[in-house]
Structure formats: C-alpha cells, structure tokens
C-alpha cells in the first residue's frame, strides 16, 4: 500500500489468549509491512476485573470491548484485536471491523480428566461453563448434570478442573488450540450437539472509521469467506436482539457456492429450545440470510422465549 502509517499500536486485553491473538495479528502485519513499527498496549477491561459475577449479570460481553474502544477514541491505539464472539452485534458509532481473519475451529470442546464425553457423566456431575448458550444446550440434553458458572482465563479454568472442583468443562476449541493446549481437549463437540456462539473462532480487528489508512493496511488480513459467515451470524443475533444475556447460538458454513446458517434460541434452564436453519447463495447478502433465519426461529417460538427473558429482567 502507498504511504502506510509508520507505527501501529495494538490495543489488547492482557489475558494469555488475548495476547496470543494480538501478537498473531502483530506478526502478520510485520510480515506484510517490515517498515511499519508495532507495539502492544495491554489493558484490563471491566469484564476482566469483575470475575466474581456472570457476564449476564454484568450486562454482557461489551465489558471486554469498551476500554479497548476508548483507547482507539483517545488515539492511544490504532487498532484493537477482539474475539468476534465477544463483540456486541451493534458496533459503537465511529468504529469499524476492518478485518476478520480466517477462522480457527469454531466448535466447543469437552474437557475432562475422567470422562470421555457429556453422555458419560453421571447424575450430579459438575460441568463448568461461562456461557448461557452452552449451559442451556447442556441442560436441554442432559438435565441430570449440575451446570455451574465458571469464569476466568483458560488456565484458571483448567486449574479448577485439575483441583477437582469440576468433573468437566466446556471451552472454545479455538482458544485451547491457539494456546497450545489442544492435548487437553477430550472431545471436540459436533455443532449438532453444541451449536457455537456467533463469531466463535474468528478474530476481528477494529479501528476508528475515519482511519482509511489503517483500514487499507488491514485489508490483506481480511478473509472474505469468514467475514461473510460471521456477518450472517451477527445479523441473526441482531435481528433477535441477542446479547450475552440471551442463550442464543449461530453458525454459518460454506457448502460449495452456498452458505448454511443454523441457529437456536433457548430458555437458560433448557426447558424450551428452538432450532432452525436457512441456506443462501454465497453471492447474496449475509445480513439477509441472518434475517431469514431469525424469522424462521420466531415462527417456532423464539420471540416467546425472548419475551419471557425480558419479563424476568423487569
């Protein structure tokens, strides 16, 4: 590119996984632009500070994003690296996701030191997860299990498993693989068993909307197929009013020249859960596919489930 910036400051959370993600992006930029200097700006977000409460109780995954966006707004950083599953579906005004990199494994992983899969766990077995999405699916399929909230970084969660506080964990396969912990995965869960979170496995690189120079710098890192799928998933969540307080999943994948998007909405206790899917040509708009599936889920009862969740909040 012509006249790239002389230096790029990368805002990132300071967890081991977030730092891996930021360094991955940093290394790709250095390979593309050897003359451009890079520096990481590590930050602790509100979501990182308040580990004693569930994300749903705190108000959602935006808690992992706002400090990084403030660093962009204050011009202390040029870009911020996020897990796309942590990004609110409504992007803050004045910002854009300039690149979504090629997706890692989007599936959930079953991790246990004693058992081979969820179906083998005995009644009352303790399963740790930070996600209402995972919790609702486990409760719907395995009501005999004791699903408990578990937050913290990946190493902290694994340590609690090793200490015997839990019989199994459900974690994102991508995070374990990126941290070199793939050997801890007992079994990767098929998407039919645990439908992933919207954007899971994909990294997004955010910048200020006015920074056309930065957006151009990031353009080679954007993977068009991953972006199409993630945008369809985010459109689904947006159309349903999804947030961290909503047990909702969505996963799109390419099938030749077409894209299949599957989604679900559930009550947190798994007592009600609705699934459906929709297919569109790759040449169409991803937002339209997301809206089509949202309408199909609404017909099956998703709106009633969501209205019930809203009533519980008020």
Give catalytic residues, as residue numbers. Answer: 86
Question: Which residue from 84, 67, 62 is spatially nearest to 11, judged by alpha carbons?
Answer: 67
Q: Are 118 and 168 in contact (CB under 8 A)?
A: yes
For residues 177, 182, 187, 191, the Cα torsion angle rounded to the nearest 10 degrees is 10
Contacts by residues 252-255 (CB-CB < 8 Å, ≥ 24 positions apart): 252/228, 252/286, 252/289, 253/229, 254/225, 254/229, 254/282, 255/279
For residues 10, 13, 17, 22, the Cα torsion angle rounded to the nearest 10 degrees is 0
CA–CA distance, 213 with 35 (Å, rounded to integer): 15
CA–CA distance, 87 with 243 (Å, rounded to integer): 10
């Amino acid at each position: 590119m012509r006249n790239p910036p002389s230096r790029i400051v990368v805002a990132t959370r300071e967890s081991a996984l977030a730092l891996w993600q930021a360094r991955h992006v940093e290394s790709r930029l250095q390979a593309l632009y050897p003359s451009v200097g890079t520096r990481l700006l590590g930050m602790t977000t509100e979501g990182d500070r308040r580990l004693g409460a569930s994300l749903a109780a705190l108000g959602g995954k935006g808690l992992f994003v706002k400090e990084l966006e403030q660093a962009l707004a204050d011009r202390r950083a040029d870009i911020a690296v996020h897990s796309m599953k942590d990004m609110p579906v409504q992007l803050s005004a004045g910002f854009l996701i300039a690149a979504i990199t090629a997706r890692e494994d989007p599936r959930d992983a079953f991790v246990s030191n004693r058992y081979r899969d969820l179906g083998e766990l005995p009644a009352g077995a303790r399963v740790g997860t930070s996600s209402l999405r995972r919790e609702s699916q486990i409760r719907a399929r395995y009501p005999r299990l004791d699903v408990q909230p578990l937050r913290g970084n990946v190493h902290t969660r694994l340590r609690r498993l090793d200490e015997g506080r839990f019989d199994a964990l459900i974690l994102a396969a991508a995070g374990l693989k990126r941290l070199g912990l793939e050997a801890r995965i007992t079994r990767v869960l098929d998407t039919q068993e645990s439908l992933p979170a919207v954007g899971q496995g994909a990294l997004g690189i955010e910048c200020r909307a006015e920074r056309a120079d930065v957006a151009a710098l990031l353009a080679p890192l954007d993977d068009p197929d991953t972006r199409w799928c993630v945008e369809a998933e985010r459109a689904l969540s947006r159309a349903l009013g999804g947030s961290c307080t909503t047990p909702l999943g969505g996963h799109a994948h390419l099938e030749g020249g077409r894209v299949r998007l599957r989604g679900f909405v559930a009550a947190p206790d798994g007592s009600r859960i609705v699934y459906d899917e929709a297919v569109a040509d790759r040449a169409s708009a991803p937002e339209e596919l997301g809206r089509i599936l949202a309408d199909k889920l609404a017909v099956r009862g998703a709106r009633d489930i969501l209205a019930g969740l809203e009533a519980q909040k008020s």
